[in-house]
Protein backbone atom coordinates (compact mmCIF):
# COMPACT_ATOMS: atom_id res chain seq x y z
CA UNK A 1 0.00 0.00 0.00
CA UNK A 2 1.13 3.51 -0.71
CA UNK A 3 -0.25 6.40 1.28
CA UNK A 4 -0.77 10.11 1.22
CA UNK A 5 -0.56 11.28 4.78
CA UNK A 6 -2.31 14.51 5.64
CA UNK A 7 0.08 15.78 8.30
CA UNK A 8 3.50 15.46 9.79
CA UNK A 9 1.94 15.36 13.31
CA UNK A 10 4.55 17.73 14.67
CA UNK A 11 2.29 19.59 17.08
CA UNK A 12 -1.03 18.94 18.77
CA UNK A 13 -3.05 21.17 16.47
CA UNK A 14 -1.74 19.20 13.52
CA UNK A 15 -3.32 16.04 14.92
CA UNK A 16 -6.72 17.22 13.72
CA UNK A 17 -5.67 17.18 10.09
CA UNK A 18 -4.12 13.72 10.06
CA UNK A 19 -7.31 12.17 11.36
CA UNK A 20 -9.42 14.12 8.91
CA UNK A 21 -7.71 13.11 5.68
CA UNK A 22 -5.80 9.85 5.22
CA UNK A 23 -5.81 8.35 1.73
CA UNK A 24 -4.59 4.96 0.57
CA UNK A 25 -4.27 3.37 -2.81
CA UNK A 26 -2.57 0.34 -4.27
CA UNK A 27 0.44 0.50 -6.50
CA UNK A 28 1.30 -2.13 -9.10
CA UNK A 29 4.94 -2.37 -8.18
CA UNK A 30 6.75 -4.70 -10.58
CA UNK A 31 3.52 -6.45 -11.47
CA UNK A 32 2.58 -7.71 -14.92
CA UNK A 33 5.94 -6.57 -16.26
CA UNK A 34 5.03 -2.95 -15.64
CA UNK A 35 7.93 -0.54 -16.07
CA UNK A 36 8.89 2.02 -13.40
CA UNK A 37 7.92 4.76 -15.86
CA UNK A 38 4.36 3.47 -16.19
CA UNK A 39 4.10 2.91 -12.43
CA UNK A 40 5.35 6.45 -11.74
CA UNK A 41 2.88 7.88 -14.22
CA UNK A 42 -0.04 6.06 -12.61
CA UNK A 43 1.12 7.07 -9.15
CA UNK A 44 1.52 10.73 -10.08
CA UNK A 45 -1.88 10.98 -11.75
CA UNK A 46 -3.55 9.20 -8.83
CA UNK A 47 -1.98 11.60 -6.34
CA UNK A 48 -2.97 14.55 -8.52
CA UNK A 49 -6.56 13.32 -8.65
CA UNK A 50 -6.69 12.83 -4.87
CA UNK A 51 -5.25 16.26 -4.23
CA UNK A 52 -7.75 17.96 -6.52
CA UNK A 53 -10.83 16.04 -5.38
CA UNK A 54 -10.21 15.08 -1.75
CA UNK A 55 -7.87 17.69 -0.30
CA UNK A 56 -9.32 19.96 2.39
CA UNK A 57 -8.47 23.13 0.47
CA UNK A 58 -7.03 22.24 -2.94
CA UNK A 59 -4.99 24.53 -5.13
CA UNK A 60 -5.75 24.55 -8.81
CA UNK A 61 -3.21 22.43 -10.64
CA UNK A 62 -2.44 24.69 -13.59
CA UNK A 63 0.53 26.45 -15.19
CA UNK A 64 1.13 28.58 -12.10
CA UNK A 65 1.19 25.47 -9.93
CA UNK A 66 3.54 23.88 -12.47
CA UNK A 67 5.98 26.79 -12.19
CA UNK A 68 6.00 26.45 -8.41
CA UNK A 69 6.70 22.71 -8.63
CA UNK A 70 9.53 23.37 -11.10
CA UNK A 71 11.14 25.93 -8.80
CA UNK A 72 10.70 24.04 -5.53
CA UNK A 73 11.83 20.66 -6.86
CA UNK A 74 15.08 22.05 -8.22
CA UNK A 75 15.61 23.82 -4.89
CA UNK A 76 15.03 20.53 -3.05
CA UNK A 77 17.44 18.69 -5.34
CA UNK A 78 20.15 21.32 -4.93
CA UNK A 79 19.45 23.22 -1.69
CA UNK A 80 22.93 24.79 -1.49
CA UNK A 81 23.03 25.67 -5.20
CA UNK A 82 26.36 23.96 -5.73
CA UNK A 83 25.30 21.11 -8.02
CA UNK A 84 23.37 22.48 -11.00
CA UNK A 85 24.69 25.09 -13.41
CA UNK A 86 22.46 27.90 -14.57
CA UNK A 87 22.58 26.38 -18.05
CA UNK A 88 21.05 23.17 -16.62
CA UNK A 89 18.15 25.11 -15.15
CA UNK A 90 17.68 27.01 -18.40
CA UNK A 91 17.62 23.76 -20.37
CA UNK A 92 14.94 22.32 -18.05
CA UNK A 93 12.70 25.39 -18.41
CA UNK A 94 11.06 23.75 -21.41
CA UNK A 95 9.08 21.76 -18.79
CA UNK A 96 8.29 24.70 -16.50
CA UNK A 97 4.62 25.02 -17.49
CA UNK A 98 4.04 21.37 -18.42
CA UNK A 99 4.15 19.73 -15.00
CA UNK A 100 0.42 20.21 -14.47
CA UNK A 101 -0.12 18.20 -17.66
CA UNK A 102 2.14 15.45 -16.31
CA UNK A 103 0.15 15.41 -13.07
CA UNK A 104 -3.00 15.04 -15.15
CA UNK A 105 -1.69 11.95 -16.91
CA UNK A 106 0.75 13.04 -19.61
CA UNK A 107 4.12 11.19 -19.82
CA UNK A 108 6.54 12.24 -17.07
CA UNK A 109 9.50 14.01 -18.69
CA UNK A 110 10.73 16.72 -16.29
CA UNK A 111 11.73 14.58 -13.30
CA UNK A 112 13.69 11.99 -15.35
CA UNK A 113 15.45 14.77 -17.31
CA UNK A 114 16.45 16.64 -14.16
CA UNK A 115 17.51 13.37 -12.54
CA UNK A 116 19.94 12.58 -15.36
CA UNK A 117 21.54 16.00 -15.09
CA UNK A 118 21.66 15.72 -11.29
CA UNK A 119 23.54 12.41 -11.40
CA UNK A 120 26.11 13.86 -13.79
CA UNK A 121 26.63 17.07 -11.82
CA UNK A 122 26.86 15.22 -8.50
CA UNK A 123 29.82 13.20 -9.80
CA UNK A 124 31.46 16.42 -10.98
CA UNK A 125 30.82 18.14 -7.64
CA UNK A 126 32.47 15.33 -5.73
CA UNK A 127 35.56 15.58 -7.92
CA UNK A 128 35.71 19.34 -7.28
CA UNK A 129 35.38 18.79 -3.54
CA UNK A 130 38.10 16.13 -3.48
CA UNK A 131 40.45 18.38 -5.42
CA UNK A 132 39.84 21.42 -3.20
CA UNK A 133 40.40 19.65 0.14
CA UNK A 134 43.70 18.16 -1.00
CA UNK A 135 45.59 21.43 -0.59
CA UNK A 136 45.98 23.63 2.53
CA UNK A 137 43.90 26.77 2.82
CA UNK A 138 45.68 30.09 3.33
CA UNK A 139 43.69 31.89 6.02
CA UNK A 140 45.86 35.00 5.71
CA UNK A 141 44.25 35.82 2.38
CA UNK A 142 40.96 37.71 2.53
CA UNK A 143 38.08 35.88 0.92
CA UNK A 144 34.29 35.90 1.06
CA UNK A 145 31.36 33.58 0.40
CA UNK A 146 27.64 34.20 0.03
CA UNK A 147 25.83 31.84 2.42
CA UNK A 148 22.24 32.97 1.83
CA UNK A 149 20.99 30.47 -0.77
CA UNK A 150 17.82 32.51 -1.29
CA UNK A 151 19.98 35.35 -2.60
CA UNK A 152 22.69 33.28 -4.22
CA UNK A 153 22.30 32.37 -7.90
CA UNK A 154 23.17 29.07 -9.48
CA UNK A 155 26.76 29.00 -10.82
CA UNK A 156 26.90 30.57 -14.25
CA UNK A 157 29.58 28.14 -15.43
CA UNK A 158 32.00 25.50 -14.23
CA UNK A 159 34.53 28.08 -13.01
CA UNK A 160 31.87 29.76 -10.86
CA UNK A 161 30.89 26.41 -9.41
CA UNK A 162 34.51 25.57 -8.57
CA UNK A 163 34.97 28.98 -6.94
CA UNK A 164 31.89 28.52 -4.78
CA UNK A 165 33.01 25.05 -3.67
CA UNK A 166 36.43 26.46 -2.79
CA UNK A 167 34.89 29.32 -0.82
CA UNK A 168 32.41 27.27 1.16
CA UNK A 169 34.96 24.58 2.02
CA UNK A 170 37.48 27.22 3.07
CA UNK A 171 34.83 28.92 5.20
CA UNK A 172 33.91 25.68 6.97
CA UNK A 173 37.57 24.78 7.50
CA UNK A 174 38.24 28.27 8.89
CA UNK A 175 35.37 27.89 11.34
CA UNK A 176 36.90 24.66 12.67
CA UNK A 177 40.40 26.16 12.62
CA UNK A 178 39.26 29.06 14.82
CA UNK A 179 37.72 26.61 17.31
CA UNK A 180 40.96 24.64 17.43
CA UNK A 181 43.11 27.75 17.96
CA UNK A 182 40.79 28.92 20.75
CA UNK A 183 41.08 25.51 22.38
CA UNK A 184 44.87 25.72 22.07
CA UNK A 185 44.94 29.16 23.71
CA UNK A 186 42.66 28.03 26.51
CA UNK A 187 44.69 24.92 27.35
CA UNK A 188 48.26 25.96 26.51
CA UNK A 189 49.31 26.26 30.18
CA UNK A 190 47.93 22.86 31.13
CA UNK A 191 50.38 20.07 31.81
CA UNK A 192 50.72 17.48 29.06
CA UNK A 193 48.65 19.55 26.63
CA UNK A 194 50.25 19.30 23.20
CA UNK A 195 50.57 22.70 21.54
CA UNK A 196 50.16 22.24 17.80
CA UNK A 197 51.34 24.56 15.06
CA UNK A 198 48.84 26.49 12.92
CA UNK A 199 49.69 24.27 9.96
CA UNK A 200 48.73 21.18 11.97
CA UNK A 201 45.46 22.74 13.11
CA UNK A 202 44.66 23.74 9.52
CA UNK A 203 45.25 20.17 8.41
CA UNK A 204 43.00 18.83 11.17
CA UNK A 205 40.29 21.37 10.36
CA UNK A 206 40.43 20.48 6.67
CA UNK A 207 40.30 16.75 7.52
CA UNK A 208 37.18 17.35 9.61
CA UNK A 209 35.47 19.13 6.71
CA UNK A 210 36.56 16.39 4.32
CA UNK A 211 35.08 13.73 6.59
CA UNK A 212 31.76 15.59 6.84
CA UNK A 213 31.38 16.03 3.08
CA UNK A 214 32.54 12.53 2.22
CA UNK A 215 29.80 11.17 4.44
CA UNK A 216 27.30 13.49 2.76
CA UNK A 217 28.34 12.42 -0.75
CA UNK A 218 28.31 8.73 0.21
CA UNK A 219 24.78 9.01 1.54
CA UNK A 220 23.57 10.80 -1.58
CA UNK A 221 25.20 8.20 -3.82
CA UNK A 222 23.96 5.26 -1.77
CA UNK A 223 20.44 6.21 -0.75
CA UNK A 224 19.29 9.14 -2.89
CA UNK A 225 18.61 7.02 -5.95
CA UNK A 226 16.10 7.51 -8.79
CA UNK A 227 13.22 6.20 -6.71
CA UNK A 228 14.03 8.54 -3.82
CA UNK A 229 14.30 11.49 -6.20
CA UNK A 230 10.87 10.64 -7.62
CA UNK A 231 9.48 10.49 -4.07
CA UNK A 232 10.98 13.94 -3.49
CA UNK A 233 9.22 15.13 -6.65
CA UNK A 234 5.90 13.79 -5.36
CA UNK A 235 6.45 15.42 -1.97
CA UNK A 236 7.22 18.71 -3.68
CA UNK A 237 3.78 18.51 -5.28
CA UNK A 238 1.95 17.50 -2.09
CA UNK A 239 3.87 20.07 -0.06
CA UNK A 240 2.82 22.85 -2.40
CA UNK A 241 -0.79 21.86 -1.90
CA UNK A 242 -0.12 22.59 1.79
CA UNK A 243 2.92 22.08 4.04
CA UNK A 244 1.22 19.35 6.08
CA UNK A 245 0.54 16.94 3.21
CA UNK A 246 3.10 14.23 2.49
CA UNK A 247 3.45 11.34 0.10
CA UNK A 248 4.55 8.14 1.84
CA UNK A 249 6.18 5.30 -0.06
CA UNK A 250 5.51 1.77 1.26
CA UNK A 251 8.64 1.59 3.43
CA UNK A 252 8.00 5.07 4.82
CA UNK A 253 4.36 4.19 5.51
CA UNK A 254 5.52 1.08 7.39
CA UNK A 255 7.94 3.19 9.43
CA UNK A 256 5.14 5.66 10.19
CA UNK A 257 2.81 2.86 11.30
CA UNK A 258 5.54 1.43 13.53
CA UNK A 259 6.07 4.80 15.14
CA UNK A 260 2.33 5.31 15.65
CA UNK A 261 1.73 1.85 17.10
CA UNK A 262 4.92 1.31 19.08
CA UNK A 263 5.12 -2.13 17.46
CA UNK A 264 7.34 -3.43 14.69
CA UNK A 265 8.86 -6.65 13.38
CA UNK A 266 12.61 -6.82 13.63
CA UNK A 267 15.61 -8.68 15.02
CA UNK A 268 15.69 -7.26 18.55
CA UNK A 269 18.87 -5.20 18.35
CA UNK A 270 19.64 -1.53 18.79
CA UNK A 271 22.01 0.07 16.30
CA UNK A 272 24.49 2.90 16.54
CA UNK A 273 26.92 4.51 14.11
CA UNK A 274 30.52 5.62 14.17
CA UNK A 275 33.43 5.95 11.74
CA UNK A 276 33.46 2.17 11.24
CA UNK A 277 29.85 2.05 10.09
CA UNK A 278 26.54 0.86 11.54
CA UNK A 279 27.12 -1.28 14.61
CA UNK A 280 25.19 -3.42 17.05
CA UNK A 281 24.84 -1.28 20.19
CA UNK A 282 22.81 -3.71 22.27
CA UNK A 283 20.81 -6.92 21.91
CA UNK A 284 17.35 -7.38 23.39
CA UNK A 285 17.13 -10.52 25.55
CA UNK A 286 14.75 -13.05 24.03
CA UNK A 287 14.77 -11.42 20.61
CA UNK A 288 15.76 -13.02 17.29
CA UNK A 289 19.35 -11.69 17.45
CA UNK A 290 19.77 -12.90 21.04
CA UNK A 291 18.37 -16.36 20.30
CA UNK A 292 20.64 -16.82 17.30
CA UNK A 293 23.77 -16.35 19.41
CA UNK A 294 25.56 -15.08 16.31
CA UNK A 295 25.50 -11.35 16.95
CA UNK A 296 27.38 -9.43 19.62
CA UNK A 297 27.92 -5.79 20.50
CA UNK A 298 30.19 -3.87 18.08
CA UNK A 299 29.46 -6.19 15.16
CA UNK A 300 29.38 -3.94 12.06
CA UNK A 301 26.47 -4.44 9.64
CA UNK A 302 27.92 -4.29 6.12
CA UNK A 303 25.04 -5.56 3.98
CA UNK A 304 21.32 -6.28 4.38
CA UNK A 305 19.36 -8.71 2.20
CA UNK A 306 15.67 -9.58 2.13
CA UNK A 307 15.78 -13.38 2.25
CA UNK A 308 17.57 -14.72 -0.81
CA UNK A 309 17.49 -11.38 -2.65
CA UNK A 310 20.61 -9.46 -3.62
CA UNK A 311 22.08 -7.78 -0.51
CA UNK A 312 22.23 -4.00 -0.20
CA UNK A 313 25.57 -2.52 0.85
CA UNK A 314 24.73 -0.15 3.73
CA UNK A 315 28.15 1.45 3.92
CA UNK A 316 27.53 5.18 4.07
CA UNK A 317 23.90 4.72 5.15
CA UNK A 318 22.43 6.58 8.10
CA UNK A 319 21.20 4.32 10.90
CA UNK A 320 17.57 5.19 10.16
CA UNK A 321 17.98 4.08 6.52
CA UNK A 322 19.52 0.76 7.55
CA UNK A 323 16.78 0.15 10.13
CA UNK A 324 14.13 0.45 7.41
CA UNK A 325 15.83 -2.39 5.54
CA UNK A 326 16.24 -4.60 8.59
CA UNK A 327 12.64 -4.27 9.75
CA UNK A 328 9.85 -5.89 7.74
CA UNK A 329 6.93 -8.27 8.02
CA UNK A 330 6.47 -10.83 10.76
CA UNK A 331 8.25 -14.12 10.10
CA UNK A 332 10.13 -12.95 7.02
CA UNK A 333 13.87 -13.48 6.74
CA UNK A 334 16.55 -10.83 6.77
CA UNK A 335 20.19 -11.72 6.05
CA UNK A 336 22.89 -9.55 7.57
CA UNK A 337 26.48 -9.55 6.39
CA UNK A 338 28.45 -8.80 9.56
CA UNK A 339 32.04 -7.70 10.07
CA UNK A 340 33.21 -9.04 13.42
CA UNK A 341 35.53 -7.07 15.74
CA UNK A 342 38.39 -9.38 14.64
CA UNK A 343 37.84 -8.36 10.98
CA UNK A 344 36.19 -11.59 9.84
CA UNK A 345 32.90 -11.61 7.92
CA UNK A 346 29.79 -13.65 8.59
CA UNK A 347 26.29 -13.92 7.10
CA UNK A 348 23.55 -14.20 9.71
CA UNK A 349 19.98 -15.14 8.73
CA UNK A 350 17.24 -14.11 11.14
CA UNK A 351 13.44 -14.32 11.19
CA UNK A 352 11.73 -11.07 12.12
CA UNK A 353 9.76 -11.14 15.36
CA UNK A 354 7.29 -8.82 17.05
CA UNK A 355 8.86 -6.10 19.18
CA UNK A 356 6.93 -3.63 21.34
CA UNK A 357 8.47 -0.30 22.33
CA UNK A 358 6.42 0.36 25.44
CA UNK A 359 8.59 3.26 26.62
CA UNK A 360 6.49 5.45 24.34
CA UNK A 361 3.23 4.39 26.01
CA UNK A 362 1.28 6.22 28.72
CA UNK A 363 2.44 5.68 32.28
CA UNK A 364 1.59 7.25 35.62
CA UNK A 365 3.01 8.12 39.01
CA UNK A 366 1.74 9.54 42.29
CA UNK A 367 3.20 12.78 43.61
CA UNK A 368 2.91 13.33 47.34
CA UNK A 369 2.53 16.90 48.56
CA UNK A 370 2.06 16.95 52.29
CA UNK A 371 -1.00 14.88 53.08
CA UNK A 372 -2.33 15.24 49.55
CA UNK A 373 -1.71 12.94 46.59
CA UNK A 374 -1.74 14.00 42.96
CA UNK A 375 -1.66 11.87 39.85
CA UNK A 376 0.82 12.40 37.02
CA UNK A 377 0.40 10.79 33.58
CA UNK A 378 3.16 11.02 30.99
CA UNK A 379 1.91 10.71 27.41
CA UNK A 380 4.81 10.85 24.89
CA UNK A 381 2.62 10.34 21.80
CA UNK A 382 -1.03 10.07 20.77
CA UNK A 383 -0.26 6.56 19.58
CA UNK A 384 -2.61 4.05 17.98
CA UNK A 385 -2.18 0.64 16.42
CA UNK A 386 -4.73 0.65 13.62
CA UNK A 387 -3.62 -2.70 12.19
CA UNK A 388 -4.23 -4.87 15.26
CA UNK A 389 -7.50 -4.90 17.19
CA UNK A 390 -5.69 -5.62 20.44
CA UNK A 391 -2.89 -3.17 19.69
CA UNK A 392 -1.86 -0.24 21.84
CA UNK A 393 -4.24 2.72 22.02
CA UNK A 394 -3.35 5.80 24.05
CA UNK A 395 -6.95 6.65 25.02
CA UNK A 396 -7.47 3.17 26.45
CA UNK A 397 -4.12 3.25 28.26
CA UNK A 398 -4.77 6.70 29.72
CA UNK A 399 -8.19 5.53 30.94
CA UNK A 400 -6.47 2.60 32.66
CA UNK A 401 -3.93 4.89 34.34
CA UNK A 402 -6.73 7.22 35.47
CA UNK A 403 -8.52 4.31 37.16
CA UNK A 404 -5.31 3.40 38.97
CA UNK A 405 -4.88 6.95 40.21
CA UNK A 406 -8.53 7.26 41.27
CA UNK A 407 -8.12 4.11 43.32
CA UNK A 408 -5.34 5.93 45.16
CA UNK A 409 -7.78 8.79 45.85
CA UNK A 410 -5.67 11.51 44.25
CA UNK A 411 -6.92 15.08 44.50
CA UNK A 412 -6.13 15.86 40.86
CA UNK A 413 -4.39 14.56 37.77
CA UNK A 414 -1.90 16.29 35.45
CA UNK A 415 -1.34 14.87 31.98
CA UNK A 416 2.10 15.77 30.61
CA UNK A 417 2.03 16.29 26.82
CA UNK A 418 4.89 18.81 26.70
CA UNK A 419 7.02 16.71 24.34
CA UNK A 420 4.18 14.89 22.64
CA UNK A 421 4.75 14.91 18.88
CA UNK A 422 1.10 14.36 17.93
CA UNK A 423 -0.59 11.33 16.42
CA UNK A 424 -4.09 9.95 16.03
CA UNK A 425 -7.02 12.37 15.98
CA UNK A 426 -9.43 9.56 16.85
CA UNK A 427 -7.49 8.72 20.01
CA UNK A 428 -7.36 12.39 21.03
CA UNK A 429 -11.14 12.65 20.71
CA UNK A 430 -11.65 9.44 22.70
CA UNK A 431 -9.28 10.66 25.38
CA UNK A 432 -10.93 14.05 25.65
CA UNK A 433 -14.21 12.19 26.15
CA UNK A 434 -12.82 10.89 29.43
CA UNK A 435 -13.07 14.42 30.80
CA UNK A 436 -15.85 16.12 28.80
CA UNK A 437 -19.39 14.76 29.02
CA UNK A 438 -20.84 16.28 25.85
CA UNK A 439 -20.32 18.85 23.15
CA UNK A 440 -18.35 19.09 19.92
CA UNK A 441 -14.70 18.09 20.09
CA UNK A 442 -13.54 18.58 16.52
CA UNK A 443 -15.08 20.38 13.60
CA UNK A 444 -14.11 19.66 10.01
CA UNK A 445 -15.11 22.21 7.40
CA UNK A 446 -14.85 21.95 3.64
CA UNK A 447 -14.94 24.54 0.93
CA UNK A 448 -17.12 23.68 -2.07
CA UNK A 449 -15.67 25.33 -5.14
Q: What per-residue confidence (pLDDT) applies to 181? A: 95
Residues 6+ apart with CB under 8 A from 303: 311, 312, 313, 314, 336, 337
Structure-model confidence comparison of residues 442 and 60, the more confident one:
60
Q: Which of 295, 273, 298, 274 is nearest to 284 (CA)?
A: 295
CA distance 20 to 205: 50
For the chain, count helices (H), then strands (E): 14, 14
Name the CA radius of gyration of the chain, rounded: 26
Task: Return the CATH number of 358-432, one of 3.40.50.1860, 3.20.20.10, 3.40.640.10, 3.90.226.10.
Answer: 3.90.226.10
**By mean pLDDT, which of 36-45, 237-246, 248-257, 436-445 is the weakest?**
436-445
Q: Average pLDDT for residues 325-350, to the nearest whole number? A: 94
- If pLDDT is split at 50, 70 and 90, which confidence band does 437 have? confident
pLDDT tens per residue, range 151-210? 999 999 999 999 999 999 999 999 999 999 999 999 988 988 999 999 999 999 999 999
Q: What is the pLDDT of residue 93?
A: 97
Q: Is the pLDDT of residue 102 over 80?
A: yes
Class of domain 265-356: mainly beta
Every domain of the chain and the residues it spans: 265-356, 358-432
Extract long-range pairs of 197-203: CB within 8 Å, 24+ residues apart.
199/136, 201/177, 202/136, 202/137, 202/139, 202/173, 202/177, 203/136
Helix (H, G, I), strand (E, B) or coil at 80: coil
Are the beta carbons of 110 and 95 closer than 8 angstroms?
yes
Phi, psi of 9 (to 5 degrees): 40, 55
Per cent of the chain over pLDDT 90 is 71
Which pLDDT belongs to residue 351?
A: 96
Each residue of 12-44: pLDDT tens digit? Answer: 333 222 323 333 343 434 445 688 899 999 999
Closest CA to 424 of 261, 258, 246: 261
Q: Decide: 336 and 348 in contact? Cβ < 8 Å.
A: yes
Residue 447 pLDDT class (50, 70, 90 cuts): low
pLDDT tens by residue, 212-223: 999 999 999 989
Amino acid sequence: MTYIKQNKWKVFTAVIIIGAVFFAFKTTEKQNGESPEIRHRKLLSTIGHLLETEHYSPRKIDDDFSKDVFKEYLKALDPEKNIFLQSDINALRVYETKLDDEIHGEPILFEPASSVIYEKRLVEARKIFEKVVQSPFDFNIDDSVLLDVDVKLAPANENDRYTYWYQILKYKALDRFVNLTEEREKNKTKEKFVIKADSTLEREARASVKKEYLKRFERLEKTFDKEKRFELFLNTITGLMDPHTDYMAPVEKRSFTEQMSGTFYGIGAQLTQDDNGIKIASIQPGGAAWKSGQLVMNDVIVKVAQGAEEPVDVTGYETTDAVKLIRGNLGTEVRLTIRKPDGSYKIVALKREKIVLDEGFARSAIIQKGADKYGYILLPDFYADFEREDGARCARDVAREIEKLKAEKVKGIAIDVRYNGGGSLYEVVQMAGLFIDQGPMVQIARDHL
